[in-house]
Amino acid sequence: MSTSDPADRRGPDGPDRAADLPPVIARLWGRSAPPRRGPKPALSVERIVRAAVDLADAEGLAAVSMARVAESLGYSSMALYRYVESKDELLVLMADAVAESLTLPPLPEGDWRAGLEAWTRAQIEGVLARPWYLDLPLTTAPVGPHRLRWIDRAFAMLEPLGLTMDETLQIVGLLAQHVLGEGRVQVETRRAAAETVRSAQGLPGDTPERDLDERALAAANPYADYELVLSRLADPETYPALTRALTTWEPAPAAPDDRESDVGFGLDIVLDGIEAFVARRTGGRPGSTGPARTA
C-alpha cells in the first residue's frame, strides 16, 4: 500500500480523518497540528477566543479586531496569527464558543414538543444576552463541536417519531431560523429605541443601553405608536379589515414580561405547525401526538 494512502495517515486513535480538513474546520474541532516541541506556549486558541467574546460582550462585535484582542491579552497582533489565521476565522470560533456557553436542555421524558420548546427558548435567550451574535457574518456558518451538540440534542428529541433524516433536519432548521428571526426583532427594536433615547437626550452614541432609562426606552420603541396609528388614522374605507378588527378588540392584560409573552406566542404557533406535520407524517405511529391519518 502506498504511503500516501489515507488509510496510512493515522492518529493516536486510528486513521487521521482530519488530515485534509480546511484549516478553520481543523481549528474548530481541535484537529490542527500540535505545537512544536519546547516550552508550553502562553497563548492558546481558547484564550484568544475567550478574550474576543469578552470584548464583544463589552463593546459589541464591531470592537473585535486582532489588534484589540491581542492588546487585551498583552500580546502583539502577530502573536495571535500563530494560533488563528485571520479575523474571519476568529469569528467562526466565537460563534461556536457562544454555543458552548449556553446550557443544553435535557432530553424530555416522552415529550418531544416540550423538549424542542426548551431547546429553542434557550437559544433565543442566548441571542438576547449576546446581541452581537446577530452581527456575525454568514461566513461563520461552519459547524463546530458545540453547535453540533445542539443539533444532535434536537435530533435526539425527535428520534422517537421515526421521521426521515431530511424531515428532522428541516424541522431543526426551521426552529433555528425562528431563533434568529425572533432574536433579531427583539434586538433591533431595542437598538432602535436606544438610539432614539441617546439622540433625544444628547448622549454620546456609545452610551451603553444599560445606562439608559427603561421608561424612555419603552416610549421610544419603534412599535409604540402602532396602536395609535390604527385607532386614530386608519380610516374604514382604506383599511376595512383592520377597522372591523378594531371594533371588537380589547387590550390583553399586561404580561409580567412583554418580551417573554411575545416569544411564547410566536413559538407556540411554530410548534403547533410542527406538531400538525408530525401527526400527518407519522399517521399515529408510536411517538406521534396527533391523530392517526385516515385515507
Whether 170 and 176 have beta carbons less than 8 Å apart is answered as no
Q: Quote the CA–CA distance of 205 and 226 in Å, as a whole number.
A: 26
- Rounded distance, CA 248 to CA 253, Å? 16
In the chain, CATH 1.10.357.10 sits at: 105-224+255-282
Spatial distance between the Cα atoms of 123 and 142, rounded to a whole number of angstroms: 18
> What is the β-pairing status of strands 14-15 and 10-11?
antiparallel
- Reported as a single tens digit per residue, the pLDDT across 186-235 is 999 999 999 999 999 999 988 888 899 999 998 899 888 877 788 788 88
Burial 61-99 (b: 16+ CB within 10 A, else e): beebebeebbeebebeeebbeebbeeeebbbbbbbbbbb
In the chain, what percentage of residues exceed pLDDT 90? 59
**Residue 47, pLDDT above cutoff 90:** yes
pLDDT classification of 36: cutoffs 50, 70, 90 = low
Q: Which of 268, 95, 263 lies closest to 182, judged by CA?
A: 263
Name the least confident of 172-181, 246-255, 277-286.
Answer: 246-255
Question: For residue 290, what pLDDT band results from cuts at 50, 70 and 90?
Answer: very low
Is 47 within 8 Å of 73 (Cβ atoms)?
A: yes
Q: Does domain 105-224+255-282 have CATH number 1.10.357.10?
A: yes
pLDDT band at 110 (very low <50, low <70, confident <90, very high): confident
Per-residue model confidence (pLDDT) at position 40: 58
* Alpha carbons 178 and 182: distance in angstroms, whole number: 6
> Which CATH fold would you assign to the domain 6-99?
Arc Repressor Mutant, subunit A (1.10.10)
Contact 123, 5 (CB under 8 A): no
Q: What is the pLDDT of residue 273?
A: 95
288 by Cβ neighbours in 10 Å (0-12 / 13-18 / 19+) ranks as buried
Asked if the model's pLDDT at residue 118 lies above 50, the reply is yes
- Report, as an integer, the average pLDDT of 150-154: 97
pLDDT of residue 77: 92
Q: Predicted confidence band at 84 (pLDDT cuts at 50, 70, 90)? A: very high
Where helices occur in the chain by DSSP H, the ranges are 23-28, 45-59, 66-73, 77-80, 87-101, 112-129, 145-158, 165-200, 214-219, 226-232, 240-247, 258-282
Question: What's residue 53's pLDDT?
Answer: 98
Q: Where in the chain is the domain with CATH 1.10.10.60?
A: 6-99
Tell me the chain's radius of gyration from C-alpha atoms: 25
Give me the mean pLDDT over the 111-125 stretch.
Answer: 95
Residue 150's pLDDT band (cuts 50, 70, 90)? very high
- Averaged pLDDT of the chain: 84
Q: What is the DSSP letter of 41?
A: P
Q: Go through 232-252 and write b for each residue having 16 or more CB atoms within 10 A of its CB, e for each that does not.
A: eeeeeeeeeeeeeeeeeeeee
Residue 258 reports pLDDT greater than 60:
no
% of the chain beyond a pLDDT of 70: 82
Dist. CA 80–CA 67, nearest whole Å: 9
pLDDT value at residue 251: 62
Q: Residues 223-251: what's their mean pLDDT?
A: 82
Q: Under 8 Å CB-to-CB from 273, ≥6 apart: which residues? A: none
